[in-house]
Every structure is written in structure tokens, then in C-alpha cells.
Amino acid sequence: MAVQISPSILSADFARLADEAARVEGVADWLHVDVMDYHFVPNLTLGLPVVEALLKTTSTPIDCHLMIDDPDRWAPGYAEAGAASVTIHAEAAKAAVRTLRAIRAAGARSGLAINPATPVDPYEDLLPEIDMLLVMTVEPGFGGQGFLDIMLPKITKARGLIDKYGGEVWLQVDGGVSAATIERCAEAGADVFVAGNAVYGADDPAQAVRSLRALAQQA
């Protein structure tokens, strides 16, 4: 499993997004963009126009995490715009298979996210439809929250299901991932690590990405 780091711009300066993206370019594997709609989560961030603007300014592939109601309606548009990965929430999708297929058909990797209270087992049958499973390690909506240790068994279980399936599905963790928690996530089987505060709260975001990668690799 190759370790990949996806810094979340939720913790970056929204007035200087192009500069903030540039600070991790060439070092980060992905740029994680959290789309929130005030409905699926109690916070509002940004949408397609800002993603389109970011796509013009950075060469880092964009990893869109859609924390929105009705992803069936909106997700394909992010893939069509050029996001390299688009993740929808299982709790919000009414036609997950159709939407995951539409994301792939538009040329992006398809991702399925599950909240802390959502068990992973019911989604085993969807593994052929996805390129990445996202196990949330905080309740979605805000950066800078504490890592939920109680999610570690779910990461282990998800890794087991993916290995049993045998296809290439990445296992992403998002929420409270930091130098203090990333090794536990890697040991449990995660291979794609989102980090907001741990990267953009650091004086040197690029160095923070390197440090996180080294910790995950040695786990």
C-alpha cells in the first residue's frame, strides 16, 4: 500500500486559496476540498465555482469530499469539471451505485464516505463500484476536531473487507489525523490520509506533509 497525503484546505486561508494550494504543490498527493451545504452538515464552505477556480491554479489533483444533501444530483458535475476524485456520503445518496458510476464515467475516481455511526459492512457489496472508501474519524462538518479512537476497529474491518474483495480500493481516513494519530490509522490499514489542521495549522505545511508521510510509512 502506498501512503498518500491529502491536505484539507478547510484549515487554509480561504482568502488566499491559490497561495495555500501552492504551499503543498509537489509534496502532497492530493488537495482535499470539503464541500458543505448547511444541510448534510451544520457548516457551509464552497461549491463548484471555487473548485473550478482551484483547478485552474494548481496541478495537484483535487480530492472532492461532498458533505452535501442530494449528491446524486451534484456529484457528477465535480467530476465533469475535472476533480480527479469525488467522494459522496452513503448517508446522503439515494442512488449510490448510479452516482458512483456517473463519477467514473466522467473520468474521476469514485469515493464513498461513511460517518462515525455508519457501519461499513452494508457497503461490502459496493466495493466494485468504488475506487476509495472514506472512513470518517470525526463527525463531518468542521476541521480541528479530536480524532475518534473508537473508529480504529472500523478501519481494520474496512481493510479486511477490501483485502477479501481483492480489487484496488484505497482506504481514506479524514478527521483529527495528525502526527499523534496517523500511525494508528496506518497500522489499522488506511492508506490515504486527509489532514487539515495538522498541515495548514503548521508553520511549514510542506514539511508537515513530509513528516506525516514518514510517520505513516514507518507504521
Find out whether 182 and 3 touch, Cβ atoms under 8 Å.
no
- All 3 cell numbers of residue 133? 472508501
Q: Which one, 37 or 174, has the nearer CB to ligand DX5? A: 174
65 binds ligand DX5 (CB under 6 A): yes
Which window, 56-64, 80-88, 182-190, 196-204, contacts ligand DX5 (CB under 6 A)? 196-204
Binding mask 19-38 for ligand DX5 (x = CB under 6 A): -------------x-x----
Active site residue 174: yes
Q: Which one, 15 or 124, has the nearer CB to ligand DX5? A: 15
SS3 127: helix
175 binds ligand DX5 (CB under 6 A): yes
CA count, 13 A, side-chain hemisphere, 90: 23
Question: CB under 8 Å to 37, separation ≥6 — which residues?
Answer: 44, 47, 67, 68, 69
Beta bridge partners of 183: none
Is 141 known to sit in a ligand binding site? yes
Site for Zn ion in 164-203 (CB under 5 A): 174
131 binds Zn ion (CB under 5 A): no
Question: CB under 8 Å to 163, separation ≥6 — which residues?
Answer: none
Which window, 51-59, 136-144, 160-168, 203-211, contacts ligand DX5 (CB under 6 A)? 136-144
Q: What is the DSSP string of 192-214?
A: EEEESHHHHTSS-HHHHHHHHHH
65 binds Zn ion (CB under 5 A): yes
- All 3 cell numbers of residue 18? 491559490
As annotated, the binding site includes 8, 32, 34, 65, 141-144, 174-176
Binding site residues, Zn ion, CB under 5 A: 34, 65, 174
